[in-house]
């Protein structure tokens, strides 16, 4: 034990000396040494840091002064069929091989190659399967696969389901609603009759575990690959019904998702439907804030259209590391030359892109008339809430609540179990990848770091990552739902 302590002390001394003598030391080396130090310090088998963070969150997570009471959520909803990805592909008589990304899946070979491509990265992704008959055969095989589980699916339905667990909220959910999905929904959720349809839309969720192998491919972390042949959600057919229902429901918050589903329908359709979506969203009263939940996309033109036409008319967005980088790539923003993140996304680079989004398409520019003032970013190791000053309150609680639910839901526990989670976030980082920048040190006892750049405030907290996750689907939606639940929008004075 004393040897471990001595090595930890020496390593800490080296890190300190290098930082002082060479501030430009490559950040990957600093992160490696810091991670090694944390490993040595926590090597006795305790979960001290994780327990400290979980306890600190409980003190920080307080309800906002003004809470939402009626939330309308739409418009993508389906039934998720969750199966072992490798197991299902083997049952379909598909052999392992090389990975290759495909924007649209047209065959089982495309499915296999795209699944392997993302499995090897340990990254989540979603694709449209263009062949209806083949998809239906695969869906039947998935439903019949041993251990297959059926859940509420679709970002909107998952967010609505999460919000409905809070008794003070009334939740309206609009989307393609088949009989199985209606049966699975929380009975407190209000469903417009116009949303009901005779058949369900199925999405297949191919999950894999950290370290799982298939052929020569190994998953570095647990995640999932999603695909479907879903025209109703793909065309956002419930959008007009959703907006029309708001007049009677009178929500004080609107949550919208499903734009990513249109990507696989072809440019002609998404161009038309995106224009119609903007018109429909413009009918929502200005005093009702809109949160847009983004999801995996591959078409840069489509993402760029969303960035130019949709982001300026919503108040808040939620997205993960892949979606944030793709947003920058589509709009030629900061660090858009990166093909992908190298491990845990660098906090400074993430901060640069978040500031760019709020400046280019949001209200960070004082002369802008855009409505976007909040971005909730989540990745496996940490979360950041970036908000334009003067528009949002209670964001320390909001970012903490989002991180807390990520750790508990992935492990299937009501509260954080410190023995089942691990801290993977960098405890030391820079607030930008370029100068000027400041170095921030995060303490487990004070697990929310706050900094400002121009008129944007950033709130970062680590995630306590579940060591053996039971289910990864819907974590991003749960994170955004909890973050919104604890957020308060500041009423703006009219002059």
Q: Residue 264: what pLDDT?
A: 75
| pLDDT > 70? residue 181 | yes
* Alpha helices, DSSP H, located in 250-363: 267-282, 300-309, 321-330, 347-360
Active-site option among 200, 352, 371, 477: 477
Q: What is the pTM of this model?
A: 0.81
Token reading at 177: 């609603």
Answer yes or no: is pLDDT of 40 > 70. no
Predicted confidence at residue 493, as pLDDT, reads 72
> Per residue in 321-338, pLDDT tens?
999 999 999 999 999 999
Quick: pLDDT tens for 366-421.
888 999 999 999 999 999 999 999 999 999 999 999 999 999 999 999 999 999 99
| Burial readout 256-283 (b: 16 or more C-beta within 10 A, e: otherwise) | bbbbbbbbbbeeeebeebbeebeebbee
Structural domain of 395: 57-79+154-200+230-489
Q: Which two tokens stand for residue 15?
A: 């890190």
Q: Per-residue pLDDT averaged across 246-259, rounded?
A: 95
Q: Tell me, what's the pLDDT at 365?
A: 86
> For position 39, what pLDDT does the model report?
42
Is the previous residue joined to 278 through a cis bond, with omega within 30 degrees of 0?
no
Q: Report the SS3 class of residue 442.
A: coil
Q: Coil, helix or strand for 87?
A: helix
Q: Per-residue pLDDT for 18 more than 80?
A: no
Domain at 350, CATH number: 3.40.1190.20
Domain membership of residue 464 (yes or no) is yes
Q: Which helix (H) or strand (E) holds 144?
A: helix 132-144
Calculate mean pLDDT across residues 172-185: 94
- Is 125 domain-assigned? no
Q: What is the DSSP string of 244-257?
A: HHHHHH--SEEEEE
Residue 350 confidence class, pLDDT cut points 50, 70, 90: very high
Which residue reads 């957020």 in tokens?
A: 487
Q: Which residues of 66-104 are buried (b: 16+ CB within 10 A; e: fewer)?
A: eebebbbbbbbbbbbbbbbbbbbbebeebebeebeeeeb
Give the pLDDT score at 494.
62
- Give CA 474 to chain center in angstroms: 8
CA distance linking residue 65 with residue 79, whole number of Å = 36
Q: Determine what percent of the chain is predicted with pLDDT higher than 70.
A: 90
Model confidence at 478: pLDDT above 80 = yes
3-state secondary structure 102-143: CCEECCHHHHHHHHHHHHHHCCCEEEEECCHHHHHHHHHHHH
Note whether residue 470 is domain-resident: yes
Tokens (6 digits) for 374? 């909040």
Number of domains the chain contains: 1
> Does residue 16 carry a pLDDT above 60?
no
Q: What is the pLDDT of residue 43?
A: 38
8 A C-beta contact, residue 263 and residue 275: no
pLDDT of 114 above 90: yes
Q: Which long-range contacts (CB under 8 A, 24 or more apart) does 261-264 make?
A: 261/76, 261/128, 261/230, 261/233, 261/234, 261/236, 262/234, 262/235, 262/236, 262/302, 263/128, 263/297, 263/298, 263/299, 263/302, 264/103, 264/104, 264/127, 264/128, 264/130, 264/234
Q: Average pLDDT, stretch 40-52?
A: 64
Q: Facing residues of 488 across strands?
A: 393
Asked if 461 and 397 touch (Cβ cutoff 8 Å), the reply is no
pLDDT of 42 higher than 90:
no
Residue 289 lies in a domain: yes
Asked whether 96 and 214 are in contact (CB, 8 A), the reply is yes
Whether residue 361 is predicted with pLDDT greater than 60 in this model: the reply is yes
Interval 54-79 mean pLDDT: 96
For residue 389, being part of any structural domain is answered with yes
- Residue 294 makes CB contacts below 8 A (sequence gap 6+) with 257, 259, 260, 306, 317, 318, 319, 323, 327
Catalytic-residue membership of 200: no
Is 435 a domain residue? yes
Q: Which structure tokens are listed for 422? A: 């691990």
* Average pLDDT over the chain, rounded to an integer: 89
- Predicted confidence at residue 435, as pLDDT, reads 85
Is residue 349 a contact partner of residue 335, using CB atoms and an 8 Å limit?
yes
Domain presence at residue 290: yes
What is the pLDDT, as a whole number, of residue 69? 96
Q: Is residue 404 part of a domain?
A: yes
SS3 content of the chain, % helix, strand, coil (to 5): 40, 20, 35
- pLDDT category of residue 463 using cuts at 50, 70 and 90: very high
By C-alpha distance, which of 66, 56, 228 is closest to 136? Answer: 228
Q: What angle do CA 111, 478, 176 make, to 5 degrees?
A: 60
Supply the DSSP string of 470-484, one letter for each residue: S--TTHHHHHHHHHH
- State yes or no: cis peptide before 436, omega within 30 of 0: yes
Report yes or no: 236 and 273 within 8 Å, Cβ to Cβ.
yes
If pLDDT is split at 50, 70 and 90, which confidence band does 265 have?
Answer: confident
Q: How confident is the model at residue 226 (pLDDT cuts 50, 70, 90)?
A: very high
Output DSSP code: residue 259: G
- Write the burial class of residue 461 (CB in 10 Å: 0-12 exposed, 13-18 middle, 19+ buried): buried
């Amino acid at each position: 034990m004393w040897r471990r302590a001595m090595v930890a002390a020496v390593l800490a001394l080296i890190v300190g000396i290098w930082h002082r003598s060479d501030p430009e030391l490559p950040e990957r080396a600093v992160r490696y040494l810091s991670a090694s130090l944390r490993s040595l310090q926590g090597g006795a088998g305790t979960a001290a840091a994780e327990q400290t963070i979980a306890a600190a969150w409980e003190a920080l997570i307080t309800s906002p002064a003004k809470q939402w009471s009626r939330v309308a959520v739409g418009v993508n909803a389906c039934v998720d069929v969750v199966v072992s990805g490798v197991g299902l592909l083997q049952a379909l008589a598909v052999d392992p091989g090389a990975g290759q990304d495909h924007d649209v899946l047209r065959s089982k070979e495309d499915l296999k190659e795209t699944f392997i491509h993302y499995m090897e990265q340990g990254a989540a992704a979603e694709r449209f399967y263009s062949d209806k008959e083949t998809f239906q055969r695969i869906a039947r095989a998935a439903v019949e696969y041993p251990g297959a589980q059926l859940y509420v699916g679709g970002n909107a339905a998952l967010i609505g389901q999460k919000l409905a667990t809070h008794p003070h909220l009334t939740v309206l959910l609009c989307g393609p609603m088949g009989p199985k999905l209606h049966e699975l929904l929380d009975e407190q959720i209000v469903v417009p009759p116009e949303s009901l349809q005779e058949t369900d839309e199925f999405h297949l969720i191919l999950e894999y575990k950290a370290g799982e192998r298939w052929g020569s491919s190994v998953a570095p972390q647990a995640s999932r690959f999603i695909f479907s042949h879903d025209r109703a959600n793909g065309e956002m057919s419930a959008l007009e019904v959703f907006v029309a229902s708001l007049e009677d429901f009178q929500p004080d918050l609107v949550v919208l998702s499903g734009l990513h589903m249109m990507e696989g329908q072809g440019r002609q359709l998404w161009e038309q439907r995106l224009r119609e979506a903007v018109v429909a969203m413009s009918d929502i009263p200005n005093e009702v804030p809109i949160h847009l939940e983004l999801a995996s996309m591959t078409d840069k033109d489509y993402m760029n259209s969303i960035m130019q036409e949709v982001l300026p008319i919503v108040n808040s967005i939620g997205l993960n590391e892949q979606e944030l980088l793709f947003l920058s790539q589509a709009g030629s923003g900061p660090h858009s030359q990166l093909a992908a993140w190298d491990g845990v996304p660098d906090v400074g680079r993430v901060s640069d892109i978040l500031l760019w989004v709020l400046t280019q398409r949001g209200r960070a520019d004082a002369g802008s008339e855009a409505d976007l003032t909040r971005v909730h970013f989540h990745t496996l190791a940490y979360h950041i809430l970036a908000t334009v000053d003067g528009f949002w309150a209670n964001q320390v609680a909001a970012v903490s609540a989002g991180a807390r639910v990520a750790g508990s839901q992935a492990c299937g526990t009501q509260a954080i179990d410190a023995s089942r989670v691990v801290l993977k976030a960098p405890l030391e980082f820079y607030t930008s990848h370029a100068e000027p920048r400041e170095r921030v040190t995060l303490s487990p006892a004070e697990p929310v770091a706050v900094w400002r750049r121009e008129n944007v405030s950033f709130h970062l907290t680590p995630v306590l990552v579940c060591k053996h996750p039971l289910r990864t689907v819907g974590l991003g939606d749960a994170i955004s739902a909890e973050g919104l639940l604890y957020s308060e929008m500041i009423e703006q004075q009219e002059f």
